[in-house]
A and B are shown apart, each in its own frame.
Chain A
Amino acid sequence: MLIFDQLKKNDPHLRVITWGVLLGVLTLLAGLWWVQVFSYRHYSENQKAQSFRTVRIPPVRGKILDRGGQPLADNQPSFNLSLYLNELREQFTFQYTNRVMPEWRRANPGKGRPRGVESADLKRLARYLAASNVVQSLNGALQESLRLDWQKFHRHYQSQLALPLPILANMTPEQVARFHERFVNPPGVDIDLQPVRYYPNGSLAAHILGYLTYDDSSIEGEESFFNFRLPDYRGKVGIEAQFDADLHGRAGVKSVLVNSLGYRQSETTWEESLPGRNVVLTIDHAIQRAAEEALNSVASNTRGAVVVMDPNTGDILALVSTPAFDPNHFIPRITHEEYARLTDPKLRPQINRAMQENYAPGSIFKVVIALAALEEGLHPAQTISSPGYIYIGRRQIKDTAPPGEYNFRRAFIRSCNTYFITNGLDAGAEAIVKLGHRLHLGEKTGLLPGQETPGYFPSVATVKSSAWRDGDTANLCIGQGALSVTPLQMAVMVAAIANGGKVLWPRLVDRIEPQEAGTEPPIVFPHRPVRDNLGVKERTLTIVREAMAADVEDEEGTGRAAAVPGMRVCAKTGTAQVTDPQNRVIDHTTWFASFAPHENPRYVVVVMVESGTSGGGTCAPVARKIYEALLKMEAAKSGLAQK
């Protein structure tokens, strides 16, 4: 044979060379065998991994439901029109040969063919023209004026060839219908469906729900490498943020097999996305709506808050803060105009005024003074004569109640400063502060993390120190000065009086349950044990409750605007002064803290309005509207039960 002939020849030099060549050839063959046959699996797996593009599929987000199962945050199908570039390839070539090339020849007579960069540019143009034609042809049917963006198209072609190119998001049902009517099997265009977050009630309970922002990054425990990611959102504030991990679910993995040109060939879903869980709130959407409507009836852009709570369980039935925002506006992205409104320095719609802002409680704090004074031995029948003002040292504190004789009941319903300051000083700051501590004023309730401020309440050490004067105690007695509270804290306070002294933890989330019932057990958030006890005699509470009832029922009462036939409302109004650093009064915070019905309290309603005229004038009517709505709902419910 050829090789052995050489080796047998008596030619030592050539024999060495032949051996060398033979050895080299065998080395190559051995190496090739090693790579191609022995390590075939290793390399073919490597290679396969390269022809796949992995795509992150966001899961369907869990809903947020009210206590009756009404969706407050839902998902709606969003119909998106997309171009499938793999189906347009023939048209790319067609445009190139029949439109781009003839024009180029006309412009460059005598020149043979476009070369290099020029040729690549012409091809880009042809692709754009083909795709743009398809988009244009849709405009008539969809009654839209869609234009294919040159930059966007080429960027997509370069980097995401295997994925559809979205051209119209959120099609209306009519557009979807018209599209299907006009185009039976259109080349290169199709409608795909994506679930998108949707708040069916607009701005209802916006502060509780929070909103989402665009974020398609992987969370812990998810696959982190993707060639492409589909749009996804993350909760930013409110329940959406607090329970984001539960609501969000787990992203799935889809892989797109690309053919030898990078176009999509087939799709496989490796891992189904795991839908998020539903969060069920204690909120009642009807009460929430009634409370929002009532608060908004004060004026346009009312800055205020309403808390409706069950005094027996601590369940929050409604938590309103106005002005609110519409969380729908954050999807897909918030506009500049919306953002400007959200950051308005006066309206501050992002602030949850029910919990996130501190206010002086004003006269509604007289409830606490009343408890302290009665516990320290004040007899409710004992009277004080008020000249219409009171001097503390050299400082005169004016009284809105007219001069005259005041017993406890009259002083309470006329909100007599002289009476409460005198008896508050008698009871002593320490007794008042201790009571406030049992109400956990100056502490957070933990209802919505990131949306709550603790407020301020002085400690026993502070009031015992030499820096604490009678004037400070006097301020405390009328709910001004060294304390600030949130409407939510006031609701807890009123609830304690209504329920016999139990200071409750407010509760907002009832349970977390799977989207498909029965697939996994729900996680229930039980009512937490009572946070604290007021530690006052039942008789004291009865006296205060009677006075609160009288505040609404008595002709003289400040809260009579809240009177509702068929339900005995018990309340205390408040009008707190807002002062600037020079101690001048610049504004008023008006309050209405109430519960009802008197005999068997089921609701606590606290209303707060910034820049109101007075608690009785501004807030009491708001509370009345809420109670009326509550009565109507109860009637409807019992009517339904009777049927």
Chain B
Amino acid sequence: MNNLLTKDRQPRVDWLMMAALAGLMVVGVLFVYSATMVSEATIPVALHRQPWMRQIVWCVAGLVAMGMVCLIDYRILARWSLVLYGGTILLLLAVLVVGSDQGWGAKRWIVLGPFQLQPSEFAKIGFILALGNFLSRPADELRSISIFWKALIMLALPFLLIMKEPDLGSALILLPVGLTMLYVAGVPPRFINTLLGAAGVVVALILVDVLFAPPKWQIKLEDYQRRRLLVYFGIDGIPADATPKQRAEVRKEMRNYSYNVEQALISVGSGGLLGKGWCEGTQNALGYLPRSVAHNDFIFSVIAEEKGFMGSVTVVSLYSVLLFTGLRVAGQARDRLGRLLAVGVVAMFFSHVFINIGMNIRLMPVTGVPLPLLSYGGSSVLSSLIAAGLLQNIYIHRRS
């Protein structure tokens, strides 16, 4: 009886989170439309090939996937986590072999008929599940250094594979996710501090190496990655013995690379308080914001230009609701596994949002990280909704 009563009082799913997700999906479809339909090239394209329509299809597919994830108790899912993790690792290996670069110079996609699968998006979820499952063991065992090392290996495997594609942004997302989960799991702080310190030193060394070391001593980084970093740190990286012509050439290249950032910033800034109105933005339409990125990685600048600061606040608020309901789910989880999984998903969402919006306002260097549910792209939408489904799953099976 008591059980029944509580069931009546407690809703089966977190409707607040669902509302935020729905809001984000609607905004996403609207602005994918705005970002793509102003181009004359897309107007005569068939309805089912138009990006906004495809985005709707992906959202529906994602919602179905989300429902399916909710049907199976997360504890059962977690038992299969190593299989899922292994599967995504295999996909990441496959992408290195049969991957397509889609004209981007980086192999990130596997082409499956009309769809392009981006395995790195799903690898994140596989990683969260596996690490959550691994760390949900009794707290005493976490004090052992070997467990800590094993956790690090679980992190390193997808990290290195995604780096190899190369997709620096997606790979870097794994770091805060892994760290947060380790922290919340209760791994001794000294381990984490040492890890953080080591990571800091490594990152610093990499940066110094990339930015200042003579070419022979530099680690192999794709040219565009190096340039993005140089641009972000405002270094021209011209060797001292370069001829004036070489100098001019490098400067020109640098200008081209900083162009996206500059234009994104102009888009966001020119939106002002209220924006120019939906589909009225000129930055994207005139091609200043390159059409190839406006509807995915730089979708936020389109929203910010057309809807202004109020639009940006709305988007950030919707994400905040998602993040804080996610944390609430973590707090209400019936076991350590659920808590860890929820924290992992929240960390993943947060990292995406912070890096992506941050790069639009030059808070972060440009890395190809999509904005969950807003950026155009099937893999991203699907994996985001699966991750949200995981949160709902934990919520449904929360402690009463």
Contact = CB atoms under 8 A, between A and B. Distances in A.
Say whether A associates with B.
yes
Interface of A: 2-3, 5-6, 9, 11, 13-14, 16-18, 21, 24-25, 27-29, 31-37, 39-40, 42-44, 46-48, 50-51, 93, 96-97, 101, 112-113, 119-120, 123, 258-262
B269 A40 contact: yes
A28 B357 contact: yes
B321 interface: yes
B185 to A, nearest CB: 9
B273 A43 contact: no
Given A32-B309, A36-B268, A50-B266, A21 B327 contact: yes
Nearest to A120: B41
Among B269, B287, B353, B358, residue most surrounded by chain A Cβ atoms (within 10 Å): B269
A381 to B, nearest CB: 81
Q: Chain B: interface secondary structure? A: helix
A24 B354 CA distance: 7
Given A40-B269, A44-B272, 10 more contacts: A2-B16, A6-B324, A6-B328, A17-B183, A25-B320, A31-B357, A40-B270, A44-B270, A50-B286, A113-B45
A403 B273 CA distance: 109
Contacts of A44: 269-270, 272
A33 B286 CA distance: 25
Contacts of B69: none
Nearest to A89: B40
Given A120-B41, A260-B38, A113 B46 contact: yes
Contacts of A123: 40-41, 44
B384 interface: no
Contact of B49 (A13, A18, A101, A113): A113
B280 A9 contact: no
B361 A31 contact: yes
Q: Chain A: interface secondary structure? A: helix
A133 to B, nearest CB: 19
Contacts of B321: 2
Interface string B358-380: 10010100000000000000000
Given A6-B331, A32-B309, A47-B283, A25 B273 contact: no
B312 A32 contact: yes
A47 B186 contact: no
B271 interface: yes
A21 B346 contact: yes
A48 B330 CA distance: 47
A42 B312 CA distance: 19
Interface in B250-293: 265-273, 280-283, 285-288
Contacts of B285: 260-261
Interface string B284-322: 011110000000000000001000110011001001110
Given A17-B343, A113-B49, A9 B270 contact: no
Contacts of A31: 357-358, 361, 363
Contact of A39 (B38, B49, B269, B282): B269
A75 to B, nearest CB: 37
A36 B312 CA distance: 9
Interface string B327-340: 11011000000010
B309 to A, nearest CB: 4
B31 interface: no
B286 A5 contact: no
B184 interface: yes
Contacts of A14: 184, 327, 330-331, 339, 343
B270 A47 contact: yes
Among A21, A32, A37, residue most surrounded by chain B Cβ atoms (within 10 Å): A32
B270 A43 contact: yes
Contacts of B343: 14, 17
A43 B286 contact: no
A24 B270 contact: no
18 contacts: A6-B327, A14-B327, A14-B343, A21-B350, A28-B354, A29-B312, A34-B361, A35-B361, A36-B271, A37-B273, A40-B269, A42-B269, A43-B265, A43-B268, A46-B270, A47-B283, A112-B46, A261-B38
A24 B350 contact: yes
Contacts of B273: 36-37, 40
B270 to A, nearest CB: 4
Contact of A21 (B41, B272, B324): B324
Nearest to B319: A25
Nearest to B274: A36
Nearest to B268: A35
Nearest to B312: A32
Among A33, A43, A48, residue most surrounded by chain B Cβ atoms (within 10 Å): A43
Interface string B170-186: 00000000001001101
Nearest to B44: A96
Contact of B331 (A9, A34, A39, A43): A9
A17 B363 contact: no
B325 A51 contact: no
A172 B336 CA distance: 89
Given A17-B343, A44-B270, A51 B327 contact: no
A17 B184 contact: yes
A441 B44 CA distance: 79
Nearest to A39: B269
B381 interface: no
A521 B236 CA distance: 55
A2 B38 contact: no
Per CB-CB distance, the 8 closest pairs between chain A and chain B, nearest first, are A43-B269, A260-B285, A47-B270, A36-B309, A44-B270, A40-B272, A32-B312, A31-B361
B41 A36 contact: no
Contact of A47 (B266, B320, B325): B266
A50 B45 contact: no
B323 interface: yes
Contacts of A96: 44
Contacts of B330: 14, 17
Interface string B212-254: 0000000000000000000000000000000000000000000
